[in-house]
Structures are given as C-alpha cells and as structure tokens.
Amino acid sequence: MRLALLAGAAVLAAGCAAHADEGSAPAVSYTKDIVPLLESQCATCHLTGEEAGGMSLVGDAAIAYLVGKSAEEAPALMRVAAGDPDRSYLVMKLEGTHITHGGNGAQMPFGAPPLPAADIAKVRAWIAAGANP
C-alpha cells in the first residue's frame, strides 16, 4: 500500500511539473501573435512587397518574404533563419544590432520607437520554434 502511494505521488508530481513547464512559456502563434505585430508595426512600409525592402509583411504573405530568404541589406544573412533567432536579420533590425552584423539602414520599425522587449521576445520565440505559419 505504501509503495503504491509513493508511486502515485511520483506520477502526480511528474504531471504537475510537466504542466508547470507548459504554463511558464506558452507557445507563440504566428497567426495570433506574429501577424498582428507585423501588421501593426511593419506593414505600413512593407505592404505589397514593392516598397521598402522588397517584402510584404502582411498576413500569410510575410512567411514567403521572411523565412529562408536572404536579407537585401546583408545577403550573407537570412531575414529569418528558422530555429536561430540570433542569426536572423529580422531580430537584428528590431534590436538595432544589424550594423554590427554587416547590415545597414535604420533600426525597425523605421521612424517609431523600438518595439517593447516583450514583442521582440515573441518574434525570437517564434523563430526559435521553427518560424512556422
């Protein structure tokens, strides 16, 4: 009986620990988190793909312009290197570190205050998780 109680307690503790891990870092959704951010902060200048930077950052179109595509300002870097936010030019532009990585131009969003750290963290988390739609 005592052994059964200990085994049950261990299973319960493992389940609680797994649930706590899930709650501490909710997954970032491209549709729910990234698209609204891109559309509110970036699409003014990057609407159709024919203006600044040659990319549309609207809805599902943004994936095709970002993930696995070379950055125009720094062709040796990907705009978004899926799984690697530290090697993604998008993150560098948002954080203002693009110049030190061979890029040029202004920090994004252009002409506006830098994004809050929480928004950049969402972009980083999305990229780290594979930059999936």
Tens of pLDDT, residue by residue, the chain (133 residues)? 443 433 343 333 444 444 444 445 679 999 999 999 999 999 999 999 888 778 999 998 999 999 999 999 999 999 999 999 999 999 999 999 999 999 999 999 999 999 999 999 999 999 999 999 9
Q: For residue 25, what pLDDT is reported? A: 62
Q: What is d(CA 77, CA 26) in angstroms, rounded to the nearest whole number? A: 28
Collect all residues with Cβ–Cβ distance below 8 Å to 35 and sequence separation of at least 6: 59, 60, 62
